[in-house]
Chain A
Amino acid sequence: MAFVALEGVGKVFRGRTGTWEAVRDFSLTLEEGEFFCLLGTSGCGKTTVLNMLAGFEAPTSGRILLDGKPVTTPGADRGVVFQGHDSLYDWLTALDNIGFGLRLRGTPKAERRATAERFLHMVGLTGQGAKHPSELSGGMKQRIQIARALANDPRILLMDEPFGALDAMTRAVLQGELSRIWAETRKTVLFITHDIEEAVALATRVGVMKRGPGGTLKAVVPVDLPFPRDRTSDGFMRAFREVHALIHEEIHGGH
């Protein structure tokens, strides 16, 4: 049995301006411990897929299973890192943001603090735990989001273009850190991006989506390269070209 299974999932939005088929017949299985990057052009339905797996939105067709059980609502087994950093709690310190999930479960204060400190350290922000989100840079906020999700020990981490709003240099640093954290924790990750290099640098498999309407999985490219990845290696270039060719058709070809 697959760890995560999306079986013929579809999503049709119905609004005042009519209906929009965002996702059509999307099927994918994820194995425990893999880092899957979902790559696609803007508007192809990536966020919609993630939102359905997170339980924020219900599919209009097909079904989503986690350990064989249908996903219907959001739950602590699926941690989410959002694209923007509006999801952080401005009135809590960085440390209390990271420990928020533990607080919800009534974990004793001392243990909560120790765990939060550990994950603060893991995302490279040791000593900055007393700051509030308004005192942190964009990159630091995304680190806090990642730490908050991980501290809650979810079965899978869902990340929606978490580095999309960051400058190129910060993005590269955070990609490296995320890769290291994934190697340490071996947490299953579904990572959404529209950046080919980012996908090839992070993923064990890259799924390329067809553009919408009716966005769906077009191809899955395994990336069998060792970590940490050398972006100038031949293997990296080859994988990059393969993925690039697939996405290129979506940008320029057809319609």
Chain B
Amino acid sequence: MVATSRAATVAGYLAGFALLFLIWHLASVFLVRSVLFPSPWPVFERAFVLIEDRILQEQIVASMRRILQGFLLGSAIGVPIGLAIGSFRPVRLLLEPWTEFFRFIPAVAMITVAVIWFGIGEESKVFLIAYTTIFVVIISTAAGVGAVGRDKIRAAQCLGASRMQIFALVALPATVPYILTGMRVAMANAFVTIVAAELVASNDGLGKMLWDARLFMQVEDIFVALISLGLLGFLTDRIFRLLIRAFAGRFNPTM
């Protein structure tokens, strides 16, 4: 039962992607006949060359490493702060203005200061990804703490729980699905941010690849980079969805 529905899902995705490439192919043959809009085949051929020369892998690894480092750093900072904001009123009053302020300054707008502060090395990119991650994670974690059912806490109180026990054994596990959901959104934002950051200030990565390809009018390279981004984002999001499904159902059946 589960196996067949999973097979159906995979088949559906494959068919969906095939349809996408078919439409792309038809569009390039009949609609936009231009060297600036290649059909899928030259792009695939170019991708194979880039893979054979290990160039594509290098760019992917460079981008993904930054995303993961910044994402983990941002989550490691964001989760505890979100928990504190959600749990303690004074902390919320103190820090909510910060989160409400910074979340309206997008990471892309921070690229310039990041470069001034950290140069065009790894630090600036990791900083930007961490920055874009932190506020999303804080807000969804704090919301999760606030959404812990009142009766769950009361039940623990009249079973004899201390404040620390209520936090560790009730509030925290009940918040896990919210934390994972926040991290999932943050991960999607990280893909947006990394490209922008690498476009402006980097020596490698998929964003840099896009930028160079534009300079040298290598349209196929642009498409290879775009498809790589789409696939990587899709795969990471899948992983998060699986994690959320594996945990959330157990931690909170309404999610």
Q: Assess the A148–B159 pair: CB atoms within 8 A.
A: yes
Report the Cα distance A79→B159, complex, angstroms: 7
Q: Assess the B151–A84 pair: CB atoms within 8 A.
A: yes
- The answer to whether A224 has its CB under 8 Å from any CB of chain B is no
| 8 Å CB contact of A91 from B157, B160, B173 | B173
- The answer to whether B249 has its CB under 8 Å from any CB of chain A is yes
CB neighbours (8 Å) of A87 from chain B are 149, 151-152, 154-155
Q: Assess the B251–A79 pair: CB atoms within 8 A.
A: no
| 8 Å CB contact of A56 from B154, B170, B251 | B154
| 8 Å CB contact of A86 from B151, B156, B165, B250 | B151
CB neighbours (8 Å) of A78 from chain B are 158
SS of B interface (majority): helix
Q: Assess the B253–A74 pair: CB atoms within 8 A.
A: no
Report the Cα distance A88→B165, complex, angstroms: 16
Report the Cα distance A87→B161, complex, angstroms: 14
Given contacts A89-B170, A105-B160, contact A80 B155 (CB under 8 A): yes
Report the Cα distance A104→B151, complex, angstroms: 17
CB neighbours (8 Å) of A222 from chain B are none
CB neighbours (8 Å) of B249 from chain A are 134
- The answer to whether B218 has its CB under 8 Å from any CB of chain A is no
| 8 Å CB contact of A90 from B151, B156, B159, B251 | B251
Report the Cα distance A90→B251, complex, angstroms: 5
0/1 per residue, B172-200, Cβ < 8 Å to A? 01101000000000000000000000000
Q: Assess the A104–B159 pair: CB atoms within 8 A.
A: yes
- The answer to whether A219 has its CB under 8 Å from any CB of chain B is no
CB neighbours (8 Å) of A86 from chain B are 149, 151-152
Q: Assess the A76–B160 pair: CB atoms within 8 A.
A: yes
Report the Cα distance A148→B159, complex, angstroms: 9
- The answer to whether B252 has its CB under 8 Å from any CB of chain A is yes
Given contacts A75-B160, A104-B159, contact A134 B253 (CB under 8 A): yes
CB neighbours (8 Å) of B159 from chain A are 76, 79, 100-101, 104, 148-149, 152
Max count, chain B CB within 10 A of own CB: residue among A82, A90, A133:
A90
- The answer to whether A171 has its CB under 8 Å from any CB of chain B is no
B interface bracket (residues with beta carbon within 8 Å of A): 20 to 34
Q: Assess the B160–A55 pair: CB atoms within 8 A.
A: no
| 8 Å CB contact of A152 from B160, B169, B253 | B160
Given contacts A80-B154, A80-B155, A82-B151, contact A90 B160 (CB under 8 A): no
Report the Cα distance A56→B252, complex, angstroms: 24
Nearest to B173 among chain A residues (CB) is A91
Report the Cα distance A154→B155, complex, angstroms: 13
CB neighbours (8 Å) of B160 from chain A are 75-76, 101, 104-105, 152
Report the Cα distance A104→B157, complex, angstroms: 10
Report the Cα distance A84→B252, complex, angstroms: 15
- The answer to whether A180 has its CB under 8 Å from any CB of chain B is no
Report the Cα distance A82→B149, complex, angstroms: 12
CB neighbours (8 Å) of B251 from chain A are 90-91
User: Which A residues, 130 to 146, have Cβ-Cβ distances below 8 Å to chain B?
Assistant: 132-134
Nearest to A145 among chain B residues (CB) is B155
Given contacts A74-B154, A104-B159, A132-B250, contact A89 B173 (CB under 8 A): yes
CB neighbours (8 Å) of B176 from chain A are 91
Report the Cα distance A119→B7, complex, angstroms: 42
- The answer to whether A174 has its CB under 8 Å from any CB of chain B is no
Q: Assess the A82–B250 pair: CB atoms within 8 A.
A: no
| 8 Å CB contact of A104 from B149, B165, B252 | B165
0/1 per residue, A106-134, Cβ < 8 Å to B? 00000000000000000000000000111
Report the Cα distance A78→B174, complex, angstroms: 24
Least CB distance, A42 to chain B, in whole angstroms: 19
Least CB distance, B200 to chain A, in whole angstroms: 43
0/1 per residue, A162-205, Cβ < 8 Å to B? 00000000000000000000000000000000000000000000
Q: Assess the B253–A133 pair: CB atoms within 8 A.
A: yes
Least CB distance, A78 to chain B, in whole angstroms: 6
Max count, chain A CB within 10 A of own CB: residue among B152, B156, B157:
B157
B residues bordering A, Cβ < 8 Å?
149, 151-152, 154-162, 165, 169-170, 173-174, 176, 249-253
Q: List 21 A-B contacts (CB under 8 A).
A: A55-B157, A74-B158, A78-B158, A80-B158, A82-B154, A82-B155, A86-B152, A87-B149, A88-B152, A88-B155, A90-B252, A91-B173, A91-B252, A100-B169, A101-B160, A103-B169, A104-B162, A104-B169, A134-B253, A149-B159, A152-B159
If A82-B151, A90-B250, A134-B253 are given as contacts, then 8 extra A-B residue pairs at C-beta distance below 8 Å, sorted by A number, are A56-B154, A74-B157, A87-B154, A89-B173, A104-B169, A133-B253, A134-B250, A148-B159
